[in-house]
Each structure stands twice: as structure tokens, then as C-alpha cells.
Amino acid sequence: MVKINCQVTNCSHNKSSICYANCVDIVGSSAKKNDDTCCGSFLNKIHYSELTNNTLRLGACDCLKCTVETCAFNNNHLCTLDNIQVNGENVEYHTQTDCDSFKFSR
């Protein structure tokens, strides 16, 4: 199963909407909505080319760190979901991405 579904088409780690980074880090420590989160692992293809063979194992990324302390799925800085959705259109910087799987928890 794919751990990270990514619609950020210009990310160097994206291959056919699947993330191939070694490890993905979702950030936004005090987020209240998914727009307050972002993928700290985003690298623009314009500057970094394609990095889809950058995983520790063969295949898609399966390591998902999360520093979003307000997310219901964060357990000791790891995401408890089986998979997440990362989105962003016309992205130039990691702050323009977001985790659409974020769920606010008080």
C-alpha cells in the first residue's frame, strides 16, 4: 500500500502521484486546519531534478514523521494513518503544500 499520495506534481520525489522520498516530514506544530500544515520534504523539480529512486527500500516512501502536535493522528511524532494525502498547486516552496489528511485534535 502507498503511504503517501502526493498531488504536488512538481516535487522531485513525486512519481505518478506517489512519494518516493526517503522519509517525509509533515510540519505545522500548532495547526488548526490542513492549510496550516505542509510537507517539509518538498523539493522543486526545477532545482533538484527527479529524485524518485531516493527511498531506503525499493518502492515508495513508507516513513512518515509528523510534528503537527494538534493532529489527531500524531503519536509521538509519527503518523498513525495507513496513508495520507499531500496537496498543493503551482508550488514553489514547501510552505505551499498541505496535508489533506490532517484532523484537528485539542
**Helix, strand or coil for residue 22?**
coil
pLDDT at 52: 58
Q: What is the pTM of this model?
A: 0.86
Q: Is 82 helix (H, G, I), strand (E, B) or coil?
A: coil
Range name among 9-13, 59-63, 65-69, 102-106 with the lowest pLDDT average: 59-63
Q: For residues 63-72, give the mean pLDDT.
A: 94
Residue 54 has pLDDT above 80, yes or no: no
Grade residue 29 by pLDDT with cuts at 50, 70 and 90: confident
Read off the pLDDT band of 21 (50, 70, 90): confident
**Residue closest to 43 by CA, chosen among 88, 101, 73, 85:** 88
Percent of the chain beyond pLDDT 90?
60
